[in-house]
Structure 1
């Protein structure tokens, strides 16, 4: 099965990218019950590869939908399931993600192609990206998603060991593993 994983951030130092990398390590390392790492084909993407002008109807009418939007949309369509860690900027999506998403939604509103998804988020503060996760979860069905699990990890600096590249809080780590285990049902079918 094909899993597409990415951080909804364009930062080269994204803490949400670090969280996705750790989650992928758990999945590919055989640490999640029910997930066969040998049957798992993982793809990742970098939002920096999908830079486009800021979406506007005027731009779309003048020049059409950029190829990068089609590429993003097609990449999601090629996956069987999604793992996305949403960075939160001022309580919402990053501008980088929102712009790519807005362009892709002009191809088809069901940007996520009805794929099952595990949604994650982390932030330096106590909210852990909870606002953006609530927004993403609330809109998921409208844009073609089945949310299997959602988890916000607060205070990244306190709960993630950057040297080890791992969640250091045992309770949060167990919650992450439980969220990832929800992928087992779709990844093994």
Structure 2
């Protein structure tokens, strides 16, 4: 049984990426899943001065420990102007200051969604390139375009997108058995 940590790279209380994470984890069986709602985890903006004066925030240390205690991650990143949100970039900055390889040995299902037709693909590409620098193994990716047209409380509505999502999830879960 795999230990999976799941969260969205958004601190919005109405995050559609968190909704995608919740839906994705609802499809996973026989694994230990811990879901974090990042809207409940504030972090100060990273600065070298803050680090020198106050050290690492307890919330960042706790998140790093949760990541380390998991061997896999389901992550959906939001997009602001074609890039990851400042919030998520800040989280990565803090984590990488504690331990540059904080994702070493971690298998990742990386997803994104947005209300637009590109589905957060700009942010997805940036994060897909960034996470391996911290030791992550990106096993599968999935982007859900036009969230409000393609998603409901029942899940992904478009059959082609639903199948793509399921294939990405299956690839990820299969990699955890190896």
Contact 1:3–1:83 (CA under 8 A) maintained in structure 2: yes
1:117 to 89, 93, 108: 108
Contact 1:51–1:100 (CA under 8 A) maintained in structure 2: no
Structure 1 residues without counterparts, runs of 5 or longer:
28-36
RMSD of aligned residue pairs (Cα, Å): 1.3
Contact 1:47–1:97 (CA under 8 A) maintained in structure 2: no
- The residue aligned with 1:23 is 24
Q: Is structure 2 residue 83 aligned with structure 1 residue 92?
A: yes
CA distance in structure 1 between the partners assigned to 2:7 and 2:78 by the alignment? 11
Q: Deviations over 1:119-143 (max 9, x none)?
A: 0000000110000110011112111
Q: Deviations over 1:37-69 (max 9, x none)?
A: 23x110011223431221111111111111111
* TM-score calculated relative to the size of structure 1: 0.89
Aligned-pair CA distance for 1:77: 0.6
Q: Deviations over 1:91-142 (max 9, x none)?
A: 1112222222211111111232330101000000011000011001111211
> Any residues of structure 2 matched to 1:45-124 within 5 Å, and which?
45-124=36-115
Structure 2 residues without counterparts, runs of 5 or longer:
none
* TM-score calculated relative to the size of structure 2: 0.94
Higher RCO (CA 8 Å, separation ≥ 6 residues): 1
Aligned-pair CA distance for 1:181: 0.6
Q: Is structure 2 residue 163 aligned with structure 1 residue 174?
A: yes
Contact 1:101–1:111 (CA under 8 A) maintained in structure 2: no
2:35 to 44, 60, 80: 44
